[in-house]
Amino acid sequence: MSAGSRSSAGGTASPTLETVAAAAGVSRATVSRVVNGGAKVSPEVRAAVEAAIADLGYSPNRAARSLVTRRTGSVALVVSEPEARVFSDPMLAGITRAIGQALAETDLQLVLMMVPADSGRRRLTRYLLGGHVDGVMLMSLHGDDPLVKELSLASLPVVLMGRPMSPLPIPHVDSDSVDGARQATHHLQALGRTKIATIAGPSDMCAGVDRLLGYRQALDGPGIVARGDFSMASGEAAMTELLAREPDVDGVFAASDLMAAGALRALRAGGRRVPDDVALVGYDDLDVAELTEPPLTTVHQPLSAMARAMVASLLRQIAGDRAPESVVLPNALVVRSSA
C-alpha cells in the first residue's frame, strides 16, 4: 500500500488525491486545483483528472476541502415563521421545494432553519455568522427584522425573498405584488362588480403591504379592507367580518389563495353563491386554487423562476462577484370559475 492510500473497512484502498494524480499522470497539486475549482488547469488536463476521479470513484473529503477553499459547501434558507407554519403553509413549502430543486444543480447543500423565539435568535445569528454556511437566503420577513440588519453588516452573501420593509444594501427577489393585485381588482371591475372588498395580508410584510396598495390603486380609493395573516382560518374570519359590515359586497380580492379558500367557507356559510353573488379572486396560484369548489381565479406567482433567481444571486456572491441587482418578476392572472 502506498503512503497516499488508506484502507477501508473491507481492506480495499480508498482512492486519494495521490492515487488520482498517479492515474491521471499529473501532480497532486493539479488534482487539488481541479477538485477545488481552480482556474489554472488546461481543458485536456482537467478532462484527464475528471476521468481518473470517475474511474477510481474518488470522493473529496469535505472537511479537508473546506480548509483549502474556506467554504462549507452549505447554504442556509432561513424562514421567519414558526415550524408548524413552515410545514403547513403550501406557499412556504412550495418555495422551499423550488429552492431545493434549484440547488440540486449545484454542489451546495441546503440547511433549512426556522427563526426561533427571541431566546434562540442570538444562537441562530451566531451560527450564521460563525462560518458554518457560505450564504443565506431569507424568506417570510416580518417588519424590520434585526437579523437582516446584522447580516447586511457582515461579509456573508445574503439574498432576500421579497423586498425588505426598509431599504437595505442586500439584493432581493420578488414578484410584482402591486401589479398582481391591480390585475386581480381590475378583473373584478371588468366583471361589473361595483362593491369590491379585499382581505389584505399582514401589514408587517411587504407582500401584504404591496397587494393592498395594488388593490387601492385599481379602485383609486381606500376601498373596503379586512385583514388576515395569509392563513385559511384568517380568511374565513375576515370574510365573516366583511359580510357583517358590508352585506352587499359583490367582489372580493383575497391576498392569498389560503385566505380565499377560507373566504369561500364563510361565503357558503353566509348563503352567498360564488361567483353569482360574490366573485372571488385569490393570489399565488397554489394547488389549493384548483381544488376548491368552485376553483379559484388567482394571480400566478412564478415560484420556480424566483427560486432560481435567488440561487443565482447567492452563487454570484459566493463566487466573489459584486452583489447583483434585485430582481422583480411579473405575475399573471389565471381565470377559473370563482370570478
pLDDT in tens, 235-251: 999 999 999 999 999 99
DSSP 319: T
pLDDT at 67: 42
E runs forming strands in 211-318: 224-227, 251-254, 279-281, 298-300
Q: Write out pLDDT tens, residues 7-50.
A: 444 445 677 878 888 998 998 888 877 776 666 788 888 888 88
DSSP sequence for 77-118: EEE-S-HHHHHH-HHHHHHHHHHHHHHTTSSPEEEEEE---H
Average per-residue pLDDT in the chain?
A: 87
pTM of the model: 0.76
β-strand pairing of 224-227 with 196-200: parallel
Specify which residues 91 forms β-bridges with: none
Q: pLDDT tens, 66-119?
A: 444 456 788 999 988 877 787 888 888 889 999 999 998 888 889 998 876 666
Contact 64, 269 (CB under 8 A): no
Report all structural domains of the chain as residue ranges with CATH numbers, in order of start.
Answer: 6-69 (1.10.260.40), 74-175+304-330 (3.40.50.2300), 177-300 (3.40.50.2300)
**CB-based contact 158:172 (threshold 8 Å):** no
Supply 234's cell numbers: 384568517
Instruction: Find out whether 255 and 286 touch, Cβ atoms under 8 Å.
Output: no
Yes or no: say if 253 and 281 are a contact pair by the CB < 8 Å rule: yes
